[in-house]
Each structure stands twice: as C-alpha cells, then as structure tokens.
Amino acid sequence: MIDAKPAAAPAVPLWPALAAMTALQALVSLALFAPGTVAPRAGLSIEQLSLFSTAAFAISLVSSFWGGTLVQKLGSLRVAALCAVAVSAGMSLALFESGWALLGAGLMLGLAVGPETPASSALLGRLVPAEKRAMVFSIRQTGSQIGAVVGSLVLPPIAVMMAPSSAYAAVIVCAAIAFAAFEWLRPAYAIAPVVMPRLGLSERLQLISADRRMAALAIASIPFSGMQVILNTCFVSFGTAELGLSHVEAGWVLASAQGAGILGRLGWGVVATRLRSARAVLVMAGVGMAICALLLGLWGPLLSRPILILLTFVFGLTASGWNGVFIAEIANLAKPGRVAEATGAVLTASFLGLVAAPLLVAVLTPRVGLGGSFVALGLTAAAGAAVLLMERSYARK
C-alpha cells in the first residue's frame, strides 16, 4: 500500500506520521548501537563489534533493494511494524551473549535497517511540500540520535548494575511498544496496493548515474556513513581503552555527541533552508567531521576533559547531523512518485560505507589502535566533502 490518500480523500495529519517515523529510526538506532554501549561490561572486542555492524549493514544493503517496493505494496507503517519485529528478534538473539548470537543479531537487524528509511521517505515525502522537506526530514532524522542518546545514557548503567542481557531486554520492550503504535496508526495512511517497477542493482546504478548531483551525493555518503557508524559503535571502547574514561563516563561523552547530532540535524536543516543549498551544508559537515576525527585520533589522549567533551560534541554535530539534509536533497532530486526508490538507490552507496568502515577498523585497530582508525576515516570524510565541492563547482560553470 502506498502512503497517501486519493486527491478526493480528507488530508491526513503530518505530525503523527512524523512522530512514528522518528520513533522507528530511534528504535533501530537503539538496537544497532546497544552492543557498542555495553561492550566493556560484556567483554566484546572491536573485532566482534565490527563483525556485528558489518553483518547488520550487509543485510541492510540487500534488504534496501526491495525496501521501496515493499513500502509501496504494504505501506510505510506496516513496514515499520515489521521492522520492530526484526529488532525484537535481533535483540532476543543478543541475549545469549555469544559471538555467534551477536552475529545472528546483526543479520536480523539488517532486515530493519534497509527498509526503514525508504518507508519514512515515502510517507513524509507525500505529506510535505518540497520547500519544507529539509526541515521535516531533519526532524525525522533526529530519531537516530534520540536512540543513540537514550542508549548511551541508559544502557551502560543497566549493563554495569545488572547485566548486558538486561540492556538487550529493555530494547525488546521498546520494540513491542513501537509495534503496537505502528499498527494502531496504519489504517489512517494506507490505500490500495499498486504495482511498482522492479529496482534492481542495474536500475539503481542507472538512477544514480543519470544525475551528477545524485551521483555525488551517493559517493560522499559512503565515507560520511562510515564515520558515523564508527563514532557510534566504537567510541565507548575507544574512551575506555585509549582516553582514560570509565565505562559510564564514556557513555556520557558519547551521549553528548549524540545530543549534538540532534541539534545538528535540526540546525543543518535550518541552515540549508536559509542558504537554499543542501550541498553547501553537506560540504561543511564533511569538513567538520574530518577535522574532529583527525584531532581526536591524533591527540585525543592528551586533551583535557572539557576540551575532549567539546571536541566530541562538535564531532557529533557534524558526523551525526548531516543525514536529514541528505535525505531531503534526495527527495528533492527524485522524480515525482519515486521518492522511496530514489532513496533506496542512493542508500545502496551509503550502506557500502556502513559495511566497509567496520571492516577497515577491524583491520587497522590491531596495528594502529582506534585512534589511527579515526584518522584514516577522517581522511576519507575529507575526500567525500571534496567530491561534493567539486560537483557544486562544476554545476556553477
């Protein structure tokens, strides 16, 4: 089912849909970063965390291929409910606290990660006019940071005072509540199913390559996404292993970065609206995250606590704040009626970064430490910003 009423039907309200899609992303984010926030207490290594993240995003890469079509057939809120089921199943596997169980949890969560963004884009893209998309999509994208902030603040104390399995159980409870809410809202936003064209790999590549602006977005999103997932997944381990922070302290510092990400997703949306250039905002975010990664990786252990917190705050403002403007720009570039397909196509590239970055960190960390890994990712983020800057300069000619 598609997520819009016929022209003659009464208009459906935006805010319940926006709240539901924000909650969906918060839930998926909470589940994805739960192992990273409890890693010191659970005894999880960087290699195990990297394998979990790689599994989740590898499956999400595959599931994103049929995410747009699934949204068109079932409706965004039914897909959201299915994502909540996948989150619950993944966290149930994580309860067993073995390496293989964590791998299985990652594979299951990938079934939620792939479809959730196309589901949100399809629903909100039909409810919001183009001139307001940057702001509305930025609000929706705060869900990732909401989930990460809650996880960073709540899950480490639960893991320390009780057990890592209790933290995973808390996520399962959240998934059950979300499932009930999505199903309750679903009838208001659904109409009859329609047949949509297949969007396989060749079609996605064609959709991206047909527009230089879309291609530049896709390329830049690879290192940007990689930087974001490593900040969220590995910072607590980095803080305890190399920065001299306790487990709970590292969670609080990461929470400040994720709180900055919320401000960034809203603030960048305002800046993009004022400048009327999402591309310029994405370049600024890319340069900012690159500088923060280099400073943290090279001199993080030498920084005073206030400077470290400030640097991490700016890191979150950039590395976790760019997504809303990014998704809104995809929606603006997409052809009418194909927002979900365009989002899924560009996110194929983004998922490559989410898959590759944990593997890169797993290879580099035993050799250069997590600090060296942050430096390497900072250089790739700078390259992503350069791609956007060059495309913007080319467009002006």
Q: What digits encode the pLDDT tens for the residues 327-369?
A: 878 877 777 666 667 776 787 788 889 889 999 999 999 999 9
Interacting residues of 306 by C-beta distance below 8 A, sequence separation 6+: none
CA distances in angstroms from 263 to 34, 163, 258, 285, 392, listed in the order given:
22, 32, 9, 13, 26
Query: What is the chain's Cα-based Rg?
Result: 20
For residue 2, is it within any domain? no
pLDDT band at 82 (very low <50, low <70, confident <90, very high): very high
Is the separation of the CB atoms in 68 and 123 below 8 Å? no
Q: CA angle 159-160-163, nearest 5°? A: 45
Of 48-52, 95-99, 204-208, give the lowest mean pLDDT range. Answer: 204-208
User: What are 162-182's pLDDT values in tens digits?
Assistant: 989 999 999 999 999 999 999
Average pLDDT over residues 146-174: 92
What confidence score (pLDDT) does residue 7 get?
A: 40
Q: What pTM was computed for the model?
A: 0.78
Is residue 366 assigned to a domain?
yes
Reduced to 3 states, what is the DSSP secondary structure of residue 384? helix
pLDDT on residue 11: 65
d(CA 318, CA 286): 7
Q: Is residue 57 part of a domain?
A: yes
Nearest to 35 by CA among 151, 144, 149, 113: 151
Crossing angle for the helix pair 339-396 and 99-127, to the nearest 10 degrees = 80
CATH classification at residue 81: 1.20.1250.20
Domains of the chain: total: 1
Domain membership flag for residue 128:
yes
Structural domain for 260, as ranges: 14-190+199-396
| Within-domain flag for 363 | yes
Identify the pLDDT of residue 8.
Answer: 39
pLDDT digits (tens, 9 = 90+) for 57-72: 889 888 876 776 787 7
Residue 9 placed within a domain: no
1 domain residue, yes or no: no
CB 76 within 8 A of CB 127: no
Q: Is residue 27 part of a domain?
A: yes
- pLDDT band at residue 9 under the 50/70/90 scheme: very low
pLDDT above 70 for 6: no
Q: DSSP assignment of 172-226, as one string?
A: HHHHHHHHHHHHHHGGGG-----------HHHHHHHHHT-HHHHHHHHHHHHHHH
Residue pair 237/49 in contact by the 8 Å Cβ criterion: yes
The per-residue pLDDT for 395 is 53
- Asked if residues 117 and 104 have their Cβ atoms less than 8 Å apart, the reply is no
